[in-house]
A and B are shown apart, each in its own frame.
Chain A
Amino acid sequence: MSSWTTDDLMDYDEVMERFDPVLGLEVHVELSTASKMFCGCSTDSDADPNTHVCPVCLGLPGSLPAINGHAVESAIRIGLALNCQIAPWCRMARKNYFYPDMTKDYQISQYDEPICHDGHLDLEVDGQSYRVEIERAHMEEDAGKSLHVGGSDGRIQGAAFSLMDYNRAGVPLIEIVTKPVRGLGAKAPAVARAYMAQLRDIMIALGVSHARMEKGNLRCDANVSLMPKGSDELGTRTETKNVNSLRSVEGALSYEIRRQGAVLASGGRVRQETRMWQESGEYTIAGREKSDAEDYRYFPEPDLVPIECSASRVEELRATLPELPAAKRARLAAEWSFDETEMAAVLNAGALDLLDATVTAGAAPEAARKWWLSELSRRANEAGCELSEVGMTPVQVAELQALVDDGSLTDKLARQVIDGVIAGEGDPQQVVASRGLAVVSDDGALGAAVDEAIAANPGVAEKIRGGRVQAAGALIGQVMKAMHGQADAKRVRQIILEKLS
């Protein structure tokens, strides 16, 4: 896999013996507001190129931005969910740089007056707690997209020409920046991944973003540097972009840690640069060199008035916050009496909300867990889909369990009902009816089957009559077989014992 790269890599454990990694994560969250940050154009990302544009987001001469109040609210709610302070007064600022995807050749962003600052997010990785300190969360507008045509790899180098699509220009973004995260040791990549996962869950819970990394709704620039053990001087960092999945966050950081380790161990210097994660080969390549001296000539945006947010407004918005993922997990674990291992399994399977809905629909937590984590997880794996897309709803799972609870279905029959539901044959009740899967509870039919089994196995029957009740198992098996499994084994046993007592 590393055959595509010529980088020397140090063994991960060896790096950890000699260095401490320091992380810095910059995450861009694309808000799911109906309209753009500064104009009324739609934020729909699937439209034909340059169809959601107007004088404002095209930066035509004379046009002016008008701020989207919903985006400001979303920014504040995100800040509150991240335990941030909300600035009572802040301004937008212009970040000046020339690039064809930036229609005004400045980005309206925030500089030294972010709307949210000084927060934190608590995470748990392998039973260990971590706190990631958040420096700021600020509002800004997205740029357009460039499509480089004619080159070998879609990059600007070697391209014959570039096409611009400004549909994305002006889509609202919230940039969330952590303080340097230290003391993570070998867990650094896993903590980064957990941080992204939790941010994603928070955005979804808040309803402010679709938060799909593969669609670019959530983008991570992962900064990492190595600090020699025992030193407290930060090393030179690299910033890895193009990290489009949780797995990539972890992979890119592990790779950079190993690469930087090898560079430093050989007496070299880490170049301060942007690196691009190559998903296919799982390595990073050097991008442009980045210096802190890059001068964006920030100044307060004179086309917009300052944004004021009173304490009472903050409290109003705080009241709109839903239960956040971490709190929800803790509450449900307690309500369901799940231990840490059980809860971890539910979370890893991405089944928390499914379980919650199933329990709400009437199933016992234990039963809900059993169906989602075993039978349905297996089928989702086989189908290569998300658990939520497996083809059975929480309400249907609860209905299935109710049928098991009242003795209408055995577990074995229930699995056949699942087949039917997933095949689109309707709700569990309908599948039971159409497939004729209900347990036979007619004592006449069962009695006849038992009589047949006794007649066929006189020796066994004799043992039971002699008081060896455990021998009944063999007869039960025979009866169940004869009934094609559609019988309640307990009832069959009862009948056998009655007949042979």
Chain B
Amino acid sequence: MSEPQSPRTSMTDAVTTGGAEILTSSATDLVAAMEAGQVSSVEITQACLDRIEAVDRQVHAFLTVDAERALRQAREVDSRRAAGQRLGPLAGVPLAVKDLFCYQGMVTTAASRMLAGWVSPYTSTVVQRCVDAGMVILGKTNLDEFAMGSSTETSAFGPTHNPWDLERIPGGSGGGSAAALAAFQAPLALGTDTGGSIRLPAALTGTVGVKPTYGGTSRYGVIAMASSLDQPGPCARTVADAALLHQVIAGYDPMDQTSIPRDVPPVVEACRQIDLAGMRLGVVTGLSGQGYAPGVTQRFEEAVAALRGAGAEVIEVSCPHFEHALGAYYLIQPAEVSSNLARYDAMRYGLRLDDDGEHSAEQVMAASRGAGFGAEAKRRIILGTYALSSGYYDAYYGSAQKVRTLISRDFEAAWATCDALISPTTPTTAFRIGERTDDPLAMYQADLCTIPANLAGIATGSFPAGLAPEDGLPVGLQVMAPVLCDDRVYRVGAALEAQLEAAWGGPLLASIPPLGAAAKEDVR
């Protein structure tokens, strides 16, 4: 196995501001340090806020930062810890929240002009669970508008830059959350994944991202893109950290009737079991070959070898209907989008234009929607409206649902022969900003490998697999496991992490180029 390119002596080199050790530490280590009295939540939070202040002009991971509120939460946790109270496993750890989650009193925009300045009057279940667990909310991270995109370039507030190369995209839609992790602005972040929005950015930034089983985490208070596909999940720099956050946010919520009233799979325990003995992994044969960058293929194959090294048996598995997944996804998802985005009609909240007493309600709606939504949102609304139209419903939406069933059957057949499936997370490494914005179909290709899992509602995650030799950019390995077997995703991810970090001599992010002085001034 080859070393990642430009290995560095320590991760702290990548961090140019103070509190370097704090910033590069895992959440697990931060909690241990807080428990040992070596550091306070206020110090950790302040270090993150300073780091955001120092580098976010280059990265643009955040749309909103509320330092005052974050420090208040941090002080509260510190005093509870000082008082000897029993705290949760992530108490005092700062969190970056994708700006799709409602959080009472904080601006929530979905990166759309439509919701610019909208302050949510209520809190999503997932964020509430984080707050209840004593986590510190730093602010809101950038995303593609209403989570529609694979690069964060459709954000109404400008793209996020990949900390590995500021001229490249960080993936999307949750590029802000992944970039915040890679830029050491936050140790943990929340994402949502509809067709790959957690996993793709994780892959392109060398971080960890998990999409739980559909129904494993509550969607209540998460601005909907495509209801039958959306799923909140954890983003982290280590597999164990992701599992801890997963444990905090997951579980049944009566406010979301699609959430599953079952116990959360043992994800934290699964990370400790780094041996894969007795586990059979299936490489999806269709997700490789033409269209896959050589460096992606190379690092993926090396990762497979590492998994074998950890004791796994690896076989090849064919999923014949995966090739239709992208097409089905781009009917079902826009159909649901067209309905979910109807409520932004300027009547109750959000952007309102031409409200001058001269124009009718219909005209105000039309003007506001025309100006409030970006091109990608409009494209999907039009596509979805068409797909649901009477006379076309059966041919489009109806057929797509049948494909969805066939893909679920492919997975069912696969589980008869293996415990989990693996593939590259995405065919290429991070592309340049602007490279695919005029070619939606090329943009959609980035989700080729991730979409089948959303259509089937299974558990899946992306884990760092190294840097592509040709461009030095991160490559991700995707693990897919049956419904409610989220623990298997973590078990494979933890084993891969242990194997590869042993080979690399440290985490992949240790080799990220430094931000700050070395970065170009004109990136934004």
Residues of A bordering B, CB below 8 Å:
55, 58-67, 94, 96, 98, 100, 103-106, 160-162, 164, 293, 295, 297-299, 302-305
Q: Is the CB of B389 within 8 A of A64?
A: no
Contacting residues, chain B, for A303 (C-beta < 8 A): 224, 227, 257-258
A302 touches B220 (CB 8 A): no
Residue from the set B118, B345, B385 with the largest chain A CB neighbour count within 10 Å: B345
Structural contact, B255 and A297, CB atoms closer than 8 A: no
A-B contact pairs, 19 of them (CB 8 A): A55-B122, A60-B349, A61-B108, A62-B102, A62-B120, A62-B124, A65-B257, A66-B257, A94-B339, A96-B338, A96-B342, A100-B345, A100-B347, A103-B343, A295-B390, A297-B338, A297-B385, A303-B257, A304-B257
Question: Known: A62-B102, A96-B388. Is A297-B357 also a contact (CB below 8 A)?
Answer: no
Query: What is the CA–CA distance of A164 and B345 in the complex, to the nearest angstrom?
Result: 14
Other A-B contacts than A62-B102, A96-B338, A297-B390, 5 sampled, CB-CB below 8 A, are: A100-B345, A103-B343, A104-B342, A295-B389, A302-B228
Would A161 and B219 count as touching, CB distance under 8 A? no
Q: CB-CB < 8 A to A60: which residues of B?
A: 102, 120-122, 349
CA distance A98 to B342 in the complex (A): 7
Q: Are B389 and A297 in contact (CB under 8 A)?
A: yes
- The residue in chain B whose Cβ has the minimal distance to the Cβ of A59 is B343
Which A residue's beta carbon lies closest to that of B230?
A302
Q: Which residues does chain A contribute within 8 Å of B357, judged by CB atoms?
A: 160-161
- Which of B224, B228, B339 is close to A62, meaning CB atoms less than 8 Å apart? B224
Asked if residues A62 and B223 are in contact (CB atoms below 8 Å), the reply is yes
Q: Is the CB of A105 within 8 A of B108?
A: no
Shortest Cβ gap from B171 to chain A (Å): 23
* B102 interface neighbour in A61, A67, A96, A305, Cβ under 8 Å: A61
Cβ < 8 Å to A, chain B residues 367-392 = 385, 388-390
Cα of A63 to Cα of B121 in the assembled complex, Å: 11
Judged by a CB distance under 8 angstroms, whether B336 is at the interface is: yes
Interface residues of B in 314-343 (CB under 8 A from A): 335-336, 338-339, 342-343
Q: Which residue of B lies closest to A55 (CB)?
A: B122
A293 to chain B, nearest CB (A): 8
Contact B108 A302 (CB under 8 A): no
Q: A55-B122, A98-B365, A297-B390 are in contact. Are A64 and B339 (CB under 8 A)?
A: no
Q: Which residue of A lies closest to B397 (CB)?
A: A299
Residues in B whose Cβ lies below 8 Å from that of A302: 226-228, 258, 336
Q: Which residues of B contact A96 (CB under 8 A)?
A: 338-339, 342, 388
Q: How far is the CA of A160 from the CA of B183 in the complex (A)?
A: 53
Which residues of B approach A to under 8 Å, CB–CB?
A: 100-102, 108, 110, 115, 118, 120-122, 124, 219-224, 226-228, 254-258, 335-336, 338-339, 342-343, 345, 347-349, 357, 361-362, 365, 385, 388-390, 393, 397
Max chain A C-beta neighbours (<10 A), residue from B110, B338, B347, B389 = B347
Chain B nearest CB from A305 CB (Å) reads 5
Cβ of A50 to closest chain B Cβ, rounded Å? 10
Kindly report which residue of chain A lies nearest to residue B342, judged by CB atoms: A105
Q: How far is the CA of A58 from the CA of B342 in the complex (A)?
A: 13
Known A164-B347, A303-B257; contact A64-B219, beta-carbon cutoff 8 A: yes
Q: Chain B CB within 10 Å — which of A65, A293, A302 has the most?
A: A302
Expressed in whole angstroms, the minimum distance between the Cβ of A365 and any Cβ of chain B is 52
User: Which of B100, B124, B221 gathers the greatest number of chain A CB atoms within 10 Å?
Assistant: B221
Cβ-closest chain A residue relative to B360: A156
CB distance from B443 to the nearest CB of A (A): 24
Please give me the residue from chain B that is nearest to A61 by CB atom.
B223
Nearest 6 interchain pairs by C-beta: A105-B342, A297-B388, A302-B227, A302-B228, A62-B221, A61-B223
B220 touches A64 (CB 8 A): yes
Central interface residue in B226, B343, B362, by most chain A CB within 10 Å: B343
**Residues in B whose Cβ lies below 8 Å from that of A61:** 102, 108, 110, 115, 118, 120, 223-224, 343
Cβ distance A290 to chain B, nearest Cβ, rounded Å: 15
Q: Which residues of chain B are near A63, meaning CB under 8 Å?
A: 122, 220-221
Name A39's closest neighbour in chain B (CB-CB): B255
Cα A4 to Cα B221 with chains together (Å): 52
Also in contact, A67 and B257, with CB within 8 A (given A61-B343, A103-B348): yes
Question: Across the interface, which residues of B come within 8 angstroms of A299, CB to CB?
Answer: 335-336, 339, 388, 393, 397
CA distance A106 to B335 in the complex (A): 13
B251 to chain A, nearest CB (A): 16
Structural contact, B339 and A98, CB atoms closer than 8 A: no
Cα A302 to Cα B258 in complex, Å, equals: 8
Q: Is the CB of B102 within 8 A of A66?
A: no
* Interchain CB contact under 8 A, A62 and B388: no
Assembly CA distance A484 to B343 (angstroms) = 77
Provide the residues of chain B in CB contact with A161, threshold 8 Å.
357
Minimum CB distance partner of B122 in chain A? A55
The docked-state distance in angstroms from the alpha carbon of A400 to that of B501 is 97
Give complex CA distance A104, B223 in Å: 13
Of chain B, the residue at the smallest CB distance from A164 is B347
Distance in Å: Cβ of B224 to nearest Cβ of chain A: 7
**What is the minimal beta-carbon distance from A336 to any residue of chain B, in angstroms?**
50
Chain A residues lying within 8 Å of B121, measured Cβ to Cβ, are 55, 60
Complex Cα distance A233/B378, Å? Answer: 44
Q: What CA separation (Å) do A55 and B125 show in the bound complex?
A: 13
Considering the chains assembled together, what is the distance between the CA atoms of A94 and B101 in angstroms? 23
A98 in contact with B124 given A105-B342, A161-B357, A304-B257 (CB within 8 Å): no
Question: Nearest CB to that of B228 among chain A residues?
Answer: A302
Contacting residues, chain B, for A100 (C-beta < 8 A): 345, 347, 361
Q: A105 to chain B: which residues have CB within 8 Å?
A: 342-343, 345
Q: Which residues of B contact A298 (CB under 8 A)?
A: 388
The interface residues of chain A lying within 8 Å CB-to-CB of B254 are: 66
Most A CB within 10 A of own CB, among B115, B121, B338, B388:
B388
Complex Cα gap A302–B393 (Å): 16
A104-B343 in contact given A61-B120, A161-B357 (Cβ < 8 Å): yes
Once bound together, how far apart are the Cα atoms of A343 and B118, in whole Å? 64
What residues of A have a CB within 8 angstroms of the CB of B393 in the complex?
297, 299
CA distance A305 to B215 in the complex (A): 11
Bound form: Cα–Cα A65–B226 in Å: 15
Q: Give Cα A303–Cα B219 distance, bound, in whole angstroms.
A: 9
Q: How far is B100's CA from A297's CA once the two chains are assembled, in angstroms?
A: 26
Query: With a CB–CB cut-off of 8 A, which chain A residues contact B338?
Result: 96, 297
Contact residues in B for A67 (Cβ distance below 8 Å): 257
Distance A104 CA – B342 CA, assembled complex (angstroms): 7
Measured in the bound complex, the distance between the Cα atoms of B255 and A61 in whole Å is 14
Q: How far is the CA of A297 from the CA of B357 in the complex (A)?
A: 31
Task: Tell me, rounded to whole Å, the shortest Cβ–Cβ distance linking B368 to chain A.
Answer: 12
Q: A58 — nearest CB in chain B belongs to which residue?
A: B348
Closest-by-CB residue of A relative to B226 is A302
Whether B255 pairs with A66 at a CB distance below 8 angstroms is: yes
Out of B100, B256, B336, B390, name the residue touching A64 (CB < 8 Å): B256
Residues of chain B within 8 A of A305, CB atoms compared:
257-258
Q: Which residues of A contact B336 (CB under 8 A)?
A: 299, 302
Measured CB to CB, the nearest residue on chain B to A100 is B347
Tell me the minimal C-beta distance from B353 to chain A in angstroms: 15
